Amino acid sequence: MTNTKKIVLITGANKGIGLATAGVLARDGHAVLLGARDPERGAAAAAGLSEQGLDARFVRLDVTDPATITAAAELIDAEYGRLDVLVNNAAITRDRSRPPGEMPVAALREVYETNVFGVVAVTNAMLPLLRRSPSGYIGNVSSGLGTVAFLSDPDENLAQYANLLGYNSSKAALNAVTLIYANALRDSGIRVNALSPGFCATDLNGHTGVLTADEGGAHIARQLARPESGAFLNENGGTYPW
Residues annotated as catalytic (active site), given as ranges: 167, 171
- Looking at residue 116, its amino acid is V
The set of residues, in sequence order, having a beta carbon less than 8 Å from that of 116 and lying 6+ positions away, is 170, 173, 174, 177
Pairing of strands 137-141, 85-88: parallel
Select from 53, 6, 16 the least CA-distant residue to 36.
Answer: 16
Select from 96, 118, 99, 98 the least CA-distant residue to 109.
Answer: 118
Q: What are the b/e assignments for 6-26, b being 16+ CB within 10 Å?
A: bbbbbbbbbbbbbbbbbbbbb
DSSP letters, 179-238, are HHHHHHTGGGT-EEEEE---SB--GGGTS--SB-HHHHHHHHHHHTT---SS-EE-TTSS
